[in-house]
Amino acid sequence: MIQKIDHHPALPRFGFHYYADSVHYRESDLQTWLPQLTSLGVAWLTLIAPGDRAIPEVFIRGLLGAGIEPVLHFDLALENPPTRAELALLLETYARWGAHYAVFFDRPNSRSSWSATGWAQDGLVERFLDRFIPSAEAALDSGLVPVFPPLEPGGHYWDTAFLSSALEAILRRKQDRLIEGLVLSAYAWSYGHPLQWGAGGPERWPGARPYYTPPEEQDQRGFHIFDWYLAIARQVVGKTLPIILLQAGVSQDPQKEARFSDLSAHAREVLAGVRLLAGETVEDEANPEAALDPIPQEVLCANYWLLASEPGGRYEAQAWFRAGGDALPAVQVLRQRLSSQAETAKIAEGSASPKEDGGWISHYLLLPMYDWGVSDWHLDVIRPFVKKYHPTIGFSVHEAAYARRVTVIGGEQSFPEQELMKLKANGCQVERITGDGITIATQLAER
């Protein structure tokens, strides 16, 4: 009988990569990092899982107890992988502890994942499946969900061609149980492209071809790689497959990228991605009048790179938390987001209603606050409006709830519509003003 898997439809879809090694799984490590993970709203965590021993039970159960789903990535050697029998006990142990997802191997479409002779031989996809299918079957037998490994976007063997051939071969081998239980994965590296790059997949960009993307076209090498992989699954298998995004938030392979080039841009991109994962409408920075494409429900999560690294380690400059307590701007941005959500939830529940004590503000001008501070041009364009109406100026939705009238400067990316709906439900008269500096100034002058 084919096992039906519940892929946690109600679980938030924001995740993280833990360390890039397999040695930080002590109970003290859990106590150190669990508060940081929960403070960011993390619900998924990629763990490097050794093929010869289990991550300690206390670590796995500790994550699950905090509502965080571990994604076990077995980066097994393609040349001499463990047998199905050798993996069975390990996988059964993880399933008994409550884990669900097991990724087997890494980038089989890359030359660096094989020996020179292994890469040169014919039938690369078939030889990979000879290794992957026994591991995937062992996962299914144990009650785990097998995850097809992330491919290198583009890659020496073009990733979309590799995935298509692999799914076709799995069907040809009559692996119905595997197709029914399979989850895909993908590296969501941006390659320096905006978040919207490649959105819509091959249906929107039919001119993109393996190894060649015309100048007027876009391809799968970006955050929206899932649109391309899901389209391949629909074409080959006849249905969409769930997919897990890995190493989001970096522009290329972390082994090649030394550090984040622009921390403010990184924070803005992370915030936009997290909001999309939450189902919110997000403005397109390149076109403020348009919205970014939503992320379909088949995307189970996007796990961002990287929580932490050993001091002086290879990935230290890519870690969100640094030795000595420093953290990337994205950390504060996400914490502020969670704090704002908690405040608006209190307002919606009535526990923070200003009506109770009569503490109404007449008019509140709500401005966006960025990770780098307040925008000077926002302050410039509101000056005539402030002189005319003398509103209370602030940056907090929670404070704005105490106003009879709220004028909001900024679009969906700064203030989601659901937050403004809660203000309206609380009795506030809300008006949103969007656009560039000149447009905002014009609209304010007309008031």
pLDDT in tens, 119-175: 999 999 999 999 999 999 999 999 999 999 999 999 999 999 999 999 999 999 999
Chain centre distance of CA 97: 25
Q: Is the pLDDT score of 262 beyond 80?
A: yes
- 272 vs 44, 84, 194, 248, 280, CA distance in Å? 18, 41, 11, 12, 9
Q: Is the pLDDT score of 345 beyond 80?
A: no
pLDDT confidence of residue 344: 58
pLDDT confidence of residue 346: 60
Rounded to a whole number of angstroms, the CA Rg of the chain reads 24
Domain end among 310, 327, 344: 327
- The answer to whether position 6 is within a domain reads no
What distance in Å separates the CA atoms of residue 402 and residue 344, rounded to the nearest whole number?
12
Q: Is the pLDDT score of 6 beyond 70?
A: no
Token couple for 197: 């790059």
**Interval 347-365: pLDDT, tens:** 555 555 544 444 467 888 9
What integer best gives the mean pLDDT of the chain? 90
CATH code at 252? 3.20.20
371 and 320 assigned to the same domain: no
- The answer to whether position 1 is within a domain reads no
pLDDT confidence of residue 301: 97
Number of domains observed in the structure of the chain: 2
Q: Which residue has the higher pLDDT, 365 or 447?
A: 365
379 and 432 assigned to the same domain: yes
Q: Is the pLDDT score of 253 beyond 90?
A: yes
- The answer to whether position 404 is within a domain reads yes
Q: Which residue has the higher pLDDT, 317 or 383?
A: 317
- The answer to whether position 337 is within a domain reads no
What's the start-to-end Cα distance of the chain, in Å?
Answer: 67
Question: Which of 48-52, 63-67, 264-268, 320-324 is predicted least confidently?
Answer: 320-324
**Parent domain of 288:** 14-327
104 and 203 assigned to the same domain: yes
Tell the burial category of 312 from Cβ atoms under 10 Å away from its Cβ (0-12, 13-18, 19+).
Answer: exposed
- The answer to whether position 129 is within a domain reads yes
